[in-house]
Chain A
Amino acid sequence: MKKQLFVLIALLVAAAMLLGACGPKPTEPPAATELPAATELPAATEPPPPTEKVQIRWFVGLGTGTDPEQIVVQEEVVADFNASQDRIELVLEVVPYDAAQDTLSTQIAAGAGPDIVGPVGWGGTNFFYGQWLDLSDLIAETGYDTTQFEKSLVDMQITVEGQVGLPFAVFPAAMFYVPALFDEAGLNYPPDKYGEKYVMPDGTQKPWDWNTVAEIGRLLTVDANGKNATEAGFDRNFIVQVGYIPQWQAAMHMVGFWGAGAADFFDAQNNAIIPDEAVQAWEFYFDGIWGAQPFIANGALSDSPEFGGGNVFNSGKAAMGNTHLWYTCCLGDFKDAGYEFQLAVLPANPFDGKVHGRVDADTFRMWKGTPHPKEAFEVMVYLVGPAVAKLATIYGALPARASDQAAFLASKSAEYPFVTSWDPIIAGLAYADVPSSEGWMPNLNEAWNRIENLGDLMLNDGTIDLTAEIEKLRQDLDVIFKK
Chain B
Amino acid sequence: MEHLANFRFRKGVSLQKMTPGARREMRQGLLFISPWIIGFLAFTVIPMIATLIFSFLNIKITDGVTNPVAWVGLDNYRTLFKDNQVWDLPELRATWTQEIEGEKVFNPQVKMSPPGSLWVTIIFGLYALPVGIIVPLVLALLMNNKNLIGRNIFRSLFYMPYIIPFVAAVFLWGGMLNPETGWINRALMLLGVPKASVPQWANDVFWVYPTYVIMGIWGIGNAMLIMLAGLQNVPTELYDAAKVDGASYWQSFWKVTFPMISPVIFYNLILSIVGLFQYFLVPLVVNQGTGRPAGATNFYNLYLYKTFFLYQNMSYGSTLACVLFLVILFVTVILFATAKKWVYYAGESR
Interface residue ranges, A against B (CB under 8 Å): 3, 7, 10-11, 14, 18, 37-39, 105, 108-109, 111, 127-131, 232-238, 299-301, 303-306, 443-446, 449-450, 452-454, 456-457, 460-461, 463-464, 472, 475-476, 479-480, 482-483
Q: Does B295 contact A (CB under 8 A)?
A: yes
Chain A residues within an 8 Å CB radius of B111: 461, 463-464
B side interface size, CB within 8 A: 51
Residue of B nearest to A443 (CB): B311
Q: Does B230 contact A (CB under 8 A)?
A: no
- Seed contacts A453-B291, A456-B294, A464-B113; 9 additional CB < 8 Å A-B pairs: A7-B31, A38-B64, A233-B102, A235-B100, A235-B101, A237-B195, A300-B200, A303-B179, A464-B111
Q: Does B221 contact A (CB under 8 A)?
A: no
Q: Does B290 contact A (CB under 8 A)?
A: yes
Residue of B nearest to A304 (CB): B180
Bound-state Cα–Cα, A7 to B61, Å:
42
Q: Judging by beta carbons under 8 Å apart, are A7 and B28 in contact?
A: yes
Q: Does B285 contact A (CB under 8 A)?
A: no
Q: Judging by beta carbons under 8 Å apart, are B179 and A300 in contact?
A: yes
Chain B nearest CB from A427 CB (Å) reads 34
Q: Does B51 contact A (CB under 8 A)?
A: no
Chain A residues within an 8 Å CB radius of B290: 449, 452, 456
Q: Judging by beta carbons under 8 Å apart, are B203 and A300 in contact?
A: yes
Contacts A235-B100, A461-B204; A130 near B63 (Cβ below 8 A):
yes
Q: Does B307 contact A (CB under 8 A)?
A: yes
The 10 closest A-B pairs by CB, nearest first: A304-B180, A457-B294, A453-B295, A300-B179, A130-B66, A237-B195, A456-B294, A38-B65, A446-B311, A463-B111
Give which listed residue, A130, A232, A449, contacts B102 with CB less than 8 A: A232
Bound-state Cα–Cα, A447 to B34, Å:
46
Bound-state Cα–Cα, A333 to B113, Å:
36
Contacts A7-B28, A108-B65, A457-B294; A14 near B34 (Cβ below 8 A):
yes
Contact sample, A vs B, 20 pairs, CB 8 Å cutoff: A7-B28, A38-B64, A39-B65, A39-B66, A105-B61, A108-B64, A109-B64, A237-B194, A237-B195, A237-B196, A300-B180, A301-B180, A303-B178, A303-B203, A306-B181, A444-B62, A449-B291, A453-B298, A456-B292, A460-B200
Give which listed residue, A128, A237, A443, A476, contacts B313 with CB less than 8 A: A443
Contacts A235-B101, A238-B195, A476-B85; A304 near B181 (Cβ below 8 A):
yes
Q: Judging by beta carbons under 8 Å apart, are B100 and A457 in contact?
A: no
Chain B nearest CB from A162 CB (Å) reads 14
Number of residue pairs spanning A and B whose beta carbons lie under 8 angstroms apart: 131
Q: Does B93 contact A (CB under 8 A)?
A: yes
Chain B residues within an 8 Å CB radius of A304: 178-181
Q: Judging by beta carbons under 8 Å apart, are B293 and A38 in contact?
A: no
Chain A residues within an 8 Å CB radius of B114: 453, 457
Residue of A nearest to B312 (CB): A445
Bound-state Cα–Cα, A128 to B17, Å:
62
Q: Does B306 contact A (CB under 8 A)?
A: yes
Chain A nearest CB from B305 CB (Å) reads 12
Contacts A456-B293, A456-B294; A446 near B64 (Cβ below 8 A):
no
Chain A residues within an 8 Å CB radius of B181: 304-306
Chain A residues within an 8 Å CB radius of B204: 460-461
Chain A residues within an 8 Å CB radius of B346: none
Bound-state Cα–Cα, A131 to B65, Å:
9
- Contacting chain A: which of B76-84, B124-132, B234-242? B76-84
Which of B65, B109, B295 has the most C-beta atoms of chain A within 10 angstroms of its own C-beta?
A: B65
B191-232 vs A, CB cutoff 8 Å, 1 = contact: the mask equals 000111000100111000000000000000000000000000
Q: Judging by beta carbons under 8 Å apart, are B34 and A479 in contact?
A: no
Chain A residues within an 8 Å CB radius of B312: 445
Q: Judging by beta carbons under 8 Å apart, are B180 and A306 in contact?
A: yes
Give which listed residue, A128, A453, A457, contacts B64 with CB less than 8 A: A128
Contacts A38-B64, A450-B85; A461 near B294 (Cβ below 8 A):
yes
Chain A nearest CB from B90 CB (Å) reads 13
Bound-state Cα–Cα, A128 to B84, Å:
27
Q: Judging by beta carbons under 8 Å apart, are A3 and B66 in contact?
A: no
Which of A14, A108, A130, A237 has the most C-beta atoms of chain B within 10 angstroms of its own C-beta?
A: A237
Q: Does B310 contact A (CB under 8 A)?
A: yes
Give which listed residue, B66, B295, B316, contacts A38 with CB less than 8 A: B66
Q: Judging by beta carbons under 8 Å apart, are B61 and A3 in contact?
A: no
Q: Judging by beta carbons under 8 Å apart, are A472 and B84 in contact?
A: yes
Chain A nearest CB from B189 CB (Å) reads 10
Q: Does B95 contact A (CB under 8 A)?
A: yes
Bound-state Cα–Cα, A105 to B65, Å:
10
Q: Judging by beta carbons under 8 Å apart, are B109 and A463 in contact?
A: yes
Bound-state Cα–Cα, A306 to B179, Å:
12
Chain A nearest CB from B283 CB (Å) reads 13
Chain A residues within an 8 Å CB radius of B310: 445-446, 449
Chain A residues within an 8 Å CB radius of B313: 443, 446, 483
Chain B nearest CB from A247 CB (Å) reads 18
Chain A nearest CB from B224 CB (Å) reads 33
Chain B residues within an 8 Å CB radius of A129: 62
Chain A nearest CB from B64 CB (Å) reads 5
Give which listed residue, B24, B82, B203, contacts A299 with CB less than 8 A: B203
Bound-state Cα–Cα, A483 to B65, Å:
18
Which of B95, B102, B203 has the most C-beta atoms of chain A within 10 angstroms of its own C-beta?
A: B203
Bound-state Cα–Cα, A314 to B101, Å:
29
